[in-house]
């Protein structure tokens, strides 16, 4: 039987919430072998436009491809405004090219239950080269080490096989399909749910440091 209401005491909830950490500015920079994950800014608008305007990049995302740069400007401004407190939005800066090739986020942090959701997008020119896996591993490490979360999850349309393979490479486990869980792309979408626990991440080693 599913319990109705919240049976957790304030003391229990406060203890779990206090275990989570709010990172300082220096912690909002994640370095991997080929990428620097750092907060996006309005100065990145041209790079964001490049991948957000690509219909193939946005085929499985919650947002539709941007048809005008003004849309990207508004989207980025809104995303930056929301990237405070319990939401973290990183640009994936290519070390050699020195420009942003995608984005990765941790959002909807639940301090009471110590979990959050991840999402990402990557410019098509950099697909199939391991950049997405590298970025997500870095963000997983950030979530468990800096935010001190216990669980991270991500969702994708079941037909998005590349995203599903990426999550599996990062040690995430398939939990099932949430039927018609969200409405976007003008339809109710089924979503494949994947997750990883802090104890699983710790047992497999620091995924964020692997190439």
Q: Evaluate whether residue 17 is within a structural domain.
A: no
Q: Evaluate whether residue 59 is within a structural domain.
A: yes
Q: Evaluate whether residue 139 is within a structural domain.
A: yes
Q: Evaluate whether residue 162 is within a structural domain.
A: yes
Confidence (pLDDT) at 211? 40
- Per residue in 157-178, pLDDT (tens digit) is 999 999 999 999 999 999 999 9
Read off the CATH number of the domain in which 141 is found.
Answer: 3.40.630.30
Q: Evaluate whether residue 20 is within a structural domain.
A: no
Q: Is the pLDDT of residue 152 over 70?
A: yes
Phi, psi of 70 (to 5 degrees): -60, -35
pTM equals 0.84
- Per residue in 92-140, pLDDT (tens digit) is 999 999 999 999 999 878 888 999 999 999 999 999 999 999 999 999 9
> What Å distances lie between residue 145 and 137, 151, 155, CA to CA?
12, 12, 22
Sequence-ordered alpha helix ranges (H) in the chain: 10-19, 45-52, 69-82, 131-145, 161-169, 198-203
The domain tally of the chain equals: 1
Q: Evaluate whether residue 96 is within a structural domain.
A: yes
Q: Is the pLDDT of residue 13 over 50?
A: no
CA distance 59 to 56: 5
Q: Which domain holds residue 142?
A: 28-209
């Amino acid at each position: 039987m599913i319990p109705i209401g919240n049976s957790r005491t304030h003391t229990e909830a406060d203890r779990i919430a206090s275990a989570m950490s709010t990172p300082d500015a220096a912690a909002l920079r994640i370095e991997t072998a080929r990428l620097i994950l750092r907060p996006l800014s309005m100065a990145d608008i041209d790079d964001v436009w490049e991948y957000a305007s690509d219909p193939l990049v946005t085929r499985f995302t919650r947002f539709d491809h941007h048809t005008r740069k003004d849309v990207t400007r508004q989207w980025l401004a809104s995303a930056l405004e929301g990237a405070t407190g319990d939401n973290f939005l990183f640009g994936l800066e290519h070390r050699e090219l020195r420009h942003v090739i995608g984005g990765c986020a941790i959002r909807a942090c639940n301090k009471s239950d110590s979990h959050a959701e991840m999402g990402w997008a990557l410019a098509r020119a950099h697909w199939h080269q391991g950049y997405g896996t590298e970025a997500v591993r870095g963000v997983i490490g950030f979530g468990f080490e800096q935010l001190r979360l216990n669980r991270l999850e991500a969702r994708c349309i079941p037909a998005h096989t590349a995203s599903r393979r990426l999550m599996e490479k990062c040690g995430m486990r398939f939990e099932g399909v949430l039927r018609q869980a969200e409405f976007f792309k003008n339809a109710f979408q089924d979503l494949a749910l994947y997750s990883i626990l802090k104890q699983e991440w710790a047992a497999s080693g620091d995924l964020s440091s692997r190439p």
